[in-house]
Copies of this chain bind each other. A is one copy, B any other.
Amino acid sequence: MEIVTGGAGFIAQTLIRRLLEEGQDVLALDNLVRGSLDYLKPFEAHPAFAFRNVDCSDKAALSDAVRSIDLGPGPHHIWHLAANSDIGAGNADMTIDLRDTFLTTVASVELAQAIGAARFHFASTSAIYGDHQGRGLAEDDGPLEPISNYGAMKLASEATIRAAVERFLPKADIFRFPNVVGLPATHGAMMDFVLKLKRDPSRLDVLGDGRQQKPYLHVTELVDAMLFISRTAQDRYNVFNIGPKDDGALVSFMAKTVRDIVSPGADIVFGEGDRGWVGDVPRVSFKIDRLTGLGWTPTMSSEQAVVRAAGEIASALGAA
């Protein structure tokens, strides 16, 4: 059984589609606070798909939810995607990332032990590195100094999984995500831009001066890389940066791309400073040499991913 926490969230929709296409049984788990059953509509009639509404940070509830399903003979794989996705909210109230980003990991690791999971896949993030002023970061580089509670609780999760590999877990894959764009539109700067332009077609206000540069990957490529790593990496503990080959696209490029699709006549009004919010890393750059060395290479650049996703999101939100 492929068990997906945060199963009604952004990344999960593409992952579940791929897993079902490959003939796997899938159990999606989500408390529907940030996720939505709408994202699971394409699968609800699929005989190999099941969903349970459960708070994945609640160890006992998670265990009960999984035990309500016939998991079959295995092997069982956990895809732990559940997390807070609102970095600003998590900085204002640290209990949010503690519960939704970290305690979901603790409960998922305990679930892995209880069901004898063969493999644990984890959605980590470039935010665990912190602000390295755009220095290209490889997986073994330090120091690791996350500047948001979100990044801190993702690093805490990695550490917990690493210790679990020492204790009982046969294999774990850590995927360090870049900024990911695509459908369904659930959160993030691109969706914000589309919604702002729907409200006021004459003007797009951007947090920060637009010069923040970040690597973007389209969600279809991200999931492709996750599946590739999960089947190819052979160590017991595998850590991979996943991202584009370039150093990223500027926020100003994203703003112009969305503006040109949604409301070509709008003025773009930039704010001040190089950070959109506390915990925002202005320049992110990380190396994917380990991933390309394993044999997977992205096909889209950051800008291409932004352009494609902007079209998809504008269309989905009825703004194109």
Which chain A residues have a beta carbon within 8 Å of chain B's beta carbons?
91, 94, 98, 102, 106, 109-110, 128, 130, 139-149, 151-153, 155-156, 159-160, 162-163, 166-167, 237, 239, 278-279
Contact = CB atoms under 8 A, between A and B. Distances in A.
A128 B160 CA distance: 11
Copies in the complex: 2
Contacts of A151: 159, 163
**DSSP class of A's interface residues: helix, strand, loop or mixed?**
helix
B166 A147 contact: yes
Ranked nearest first, the 4 interchain pairs of A and B with the lowest CB-CB distance are A142-B142, A156-B156, A152-B159, A147-B166
Contacts of A156: 102, 152-153, 155-156, 159-160
16 contacts: A91-B166, A130-B162, A140-B142, A141-B143, A144-B159, A148-B163, A151-B163, A152-B159, A152-B163, A153-B156, A153-B159, A153-B160, A155-B156, A156-B156, A166-B278, A167-B279
A105 to B, nearest CB: 10
A243 B102 CA distance: 31
A134 B130 CA distance: 27
B149 A163 contact: yes
